[in-house]
Chains A and B, each alone.
Chain A
Amino acid sequence: MKFNTRRVSALVALTLAASAALTACGSDDGEGGGGGDSASTITFLPKNLGNPYFDASSTGGERAVGEFDGTFEEVGPTTATPDAQVPFINTAAQQGVGALVVSANDPTALGSALEEARDAGVKVVTFDSDVDPEYRDIFVNQASAEGIAQTQVDLIAEQIGEEGQVAILSAAANATNQNAWIELMESYAAETYPNIEIVETVYGDDDDQTSFDKTAALLQSNPELKGIISPTTVGIAAAARYLSTSQYKGQVALTGLGTPNQMREFIEDGTVTSFALWNPEDLGYLAAHAAHALVEGDITGEEGDTFTAGDLGEYTVGADGEVLLGDPTVFTSENIGDFDF
């Protein structure tokens, strides 16, 4: 009997362990950052530090701030959690910086901290990832969903000669961004490229191994496949890795959203000819100029306001205080050497 009880409890414990393993883990707090003290200071607060993507956006921001003789600051937590961003917002408000440029880890959790900062006279610009519109002056949007969807479909159409079967390797099945893009890709492809058939969508869960194995399965189960679109940086890198060592290399085209550092190898060995992503450096550059225009009082964040963002040219504020960076940047063997993120 004793043995049986032990068996049962072991089984129960294993079940508990299994469910515990399903939940994600840990977070920790960020470290303090320095501060400027003049109203010409533009403070960048990315989701987290040490992230190549945000390193690139901050590089762009710093370049912009240099152009209008302001002071550039970058602060941020080491992990991408909303609670870790709050102290940095409070500090910036106390220092009375001119503007805060934030990529938010949560659309609402930063709300009250941002409200306090704005009451203290700090202009708030969000970029990359927005908060609810009432908490900020302007959101600099990296790309519209339509732009992202169309760019990827155009790229694959160009690579496969505008006809044939195409499959999509997505992130998780419930990823909001990806699902919106996939829907737009399907309708855009149906309208613009009648000879392209999107045969299947599979989900790699933004996991290298799963995406890799799903790519293998896609190629096996669709022998007529001409191309794969992967609108996620993890998926496209895994698919490229599989293709680069497979008999389908050069026969099945691959494009999607990827970062140049992940994809460099596969552009160089010819597995991938082109892929897209918005340019985070331009994103930071535009966000800094938008912040500057707010600080100078050139714009207030109303729809229809226009401002000049250095060498990117003139931008108009759209509905809900949104400024759109433009179409994604397309990376090929020609230009990939110019990017490091």
Chain B
Amino acid sequence: MSATLTKPEPHSAPGPGAGTPGRGAAARGALGAALRSREIAVAIFLLAVIAVATARNDSFLLTGDGWRDLLLTPSILLLLAAGQMMVIVTRSVDLSVGSTMALTAYLTGRLFIDVPGIPIIVVVLAGVALGAFLGVINGVLVAYAQVPALVITLGTMYSYRGIMLTWAGSDRINASDMPSGFLALGTKSFLTIPLLTIVAVAVVALVGYYLHTARSGRELYAIGSDPDAAKLYGLKVPTRVLTAFVLCGALAGLAGVVHAARYGTVSSGVGNGIELQAVGAAVIGGVAIFGGSGTVWGAAIGAVLLVTINRALPILGIPDFWQRAVVGALILGAVVLDRILALRQARKFDEEREG
């Protein structure tokens, strides 16, 4: 992660979420404010969900398990949403993260079985490396072959899953196949904060720092805002897009390792459909699906909200069958809100231009 961090550019630090070079400073400020409010709005909604669920049943927050699960359960989606967000900002999307995660989760289990006594850190690095490699394939195809990311990653989503099915078959990794030291990472805590949550939050912070301060990070926004302009401006568009995919793949790889540690079981169905949750988290958190704007904080809060609402609905007594519908409505609501805000923004720009 940190290897790709470049030096912060002193002159390029507009508000979070802004990032279209060439637009007026006032507009930039207004856009930044609107997006900031979006993240705050989602965060308030999240707190409200937690408050209501806790009022209904205080074990949601106030017991040891409740507090731990509240923090721990979102960690996998946090990693995926942070990666996905970087890709979406460049006006791409990576649908293969679920399959990538499945492959690295299975690799994790296989390494523990086939190489007895292998150090845990080596396994973690191997998972991240495999994820990054799969990200390179996506990135090269998208950035250099100029095929839309949606098509490429839909293809690799099935290809990677196919490799997983061939490799794993009906085999499954069980908790007893992995060392207890590794499984303990899934629940270990520092000052009641689970280790995996700390890792996920650290990753989000690093991504946020990179996108906010590093020149190459800022350029991701520029590319997503207007790829043609970014190219004319002399930005290395393919390299930057490739970087975003590699980082996204690496984070998906890490998510696979985390999955193995947390759930202790790996079968060929790991991560089925989670790619859409990652996209959903980013959208709910205010990351524009067409690129160019949004923050990793937004995506992170969106991920926590998506997971938490899923856990809160049973407590609120919503029947099992309706829970998905509620999540769907949430995503639709976020998209509609996004559209309304964008239209209002556009009207404002027009007025400013005329006035």
Contact = CB atoms under 8 A, between A and B. Distances in A.
A79 B317 CA distance: 40
Contact of A247 (B60, B63, B73, B158): B63
Interface string A74-92: 0000111000000000000
A13 B279 CA distance: 14
Interface of B: 57, 59-60, 63-66, 69, 73, 93, 95, 148, 150-151, 154, 157-158, 161-162, 165-166, 169-172, 174-176, 186-187, 259, 263-267, 269-270, 272-273, 275-276, 279, 289-290, 310-311, 314-315, 317, 320-321
Most chain-B CB neighbours within 10 Å: which of A6, A173, A216, A248? A216
A234 interface: yes
Interface string A209-232: 100111011111101000000000
Interface of A: 6-7, 10-11, 13-14, 17-18, 20-22, 25-26, 28, 48, 50-52, 78-80, 173, 202-203, 206-209, 212-214, 216-221, 223, 234, 237-238, 241, 244-248, 261-262, 264-266, 268
12 contacts: A7-B290, A13-B150, A13-B151, A202-B314, A208-B263, A209-B263, A216-B65, A216-B69, A220-B65, A221-B315, A234-B265, A262-B265
A120 B302 CA distance: 63
Contact of B276 (A18, A78, A245, A268): A18
A221 B95 contact: no
Contacts of A25: 158, 161-162, 165
Given A21-B95, A266-B175, A51 B170 contact: yes
Contact of A50 (B57, B162, B171): B171
Nearest to A48: B170
A265 B180 CA distance: 10
Contacts of A214: 314
Contacts of B157: 21
A299 B73 CA distance: 57
A26 B171 contact: no
Contacts of A262: 172, 174-175, 265
A86 B349 CA distance: 67
Most chain-A CB neighbours within 10 Å: which of B57, B172, B259, B270? B172
Contacts of A80: 170
A165 B68 CA distance: 25
A13 B148 CA distance: 10
A137 to B, nearest CB: 28
A51 B170 CA distance: 6
A63 to B, nearest CB: 23
Contacts of B270: 208-209
A14 B158 contact: no
Nearest to B151: A13
Contacts of A266: 175
Contacts of A51: 169-170
A248 B275 CA distance: 32
Contacts of A78: 169
Contact of B93 (A14, A79, A206, A223): A14
A21 B275 contact: yes
Given A13-B151, A264-B174, 12 more contacts: A14-B93, A209-B263, A218-B314, A219-B65, A220-B57, A220-B60, A220-B314, A220-B315, A223-B59, A238-B263, A241-B175, A265-B176
Nearest to B272: A207
Given A209-B259, A262-B265, A26 B314 contact: no
Contacts of B279: 14
A29 to B, nearest CB: 12
Contacts of B186: 245
Contact of A221 (B63, B175, B264, B314): B314
A264 B170 contact: no
Given A48-B169, A247-B64, A26 B162 contact: yes
Given A220-B59, A262-B172, A265-B174, A26 B165 contact: yes
A241 B264 contact: yes
Nearest to A7: B290
Most chain-B CB neighbours within 10 Å: which of A10, A219, A266? A10
Nearest to A218: B314
B60 A17 contact: no
A4 to B, nearest CB: 10
A216 B150 contact: no
A261 B290 contact: no
Contacts of A17: 95, 150, 154
Nearest to B150: A13
Contacts of A220: 57, 59-60, 63, 65-66, 314-315
A94 B176 CA distance: 44
Contacts of B95: 17, 21
Contacts of B320: 173, 202-203
A334 B137 CA distance: 50
- Which 10 interchain pairs have the tightest Cβ spacing? A265-B176, A217-B314, A51-B170, A245-B187, A265-B175, A241-B264, A208-B265, A221-B315, A220-B59, A264-B176
A261 B314 contact: no
A202 B165 CA distance: 28
Given A14-B93, A28-B166, A207 B65 contact: no
B174 A212 contact: no
A208 B267 contact: yes
B13 to A, nearest CB: 27
A79 B170 CA distance: 8
B172 A246 contact: no
B155 to A, nearest CB: 11
Contacts of B69: 216
B150 A10 contact: yes
Given A217-B314, A220-B59, A26 B158 contact: yes
Contacts of B290: 6-7, 10
Most chain-A CB neighbours within 10 Å: which of B157, B158, B170? B170
Contacts of B259: 209
A209 B271 CA distance: 8
Contacts of A217: 311, 314-315
B178 to A, nearest CB: 9
Contacts of B93: 14
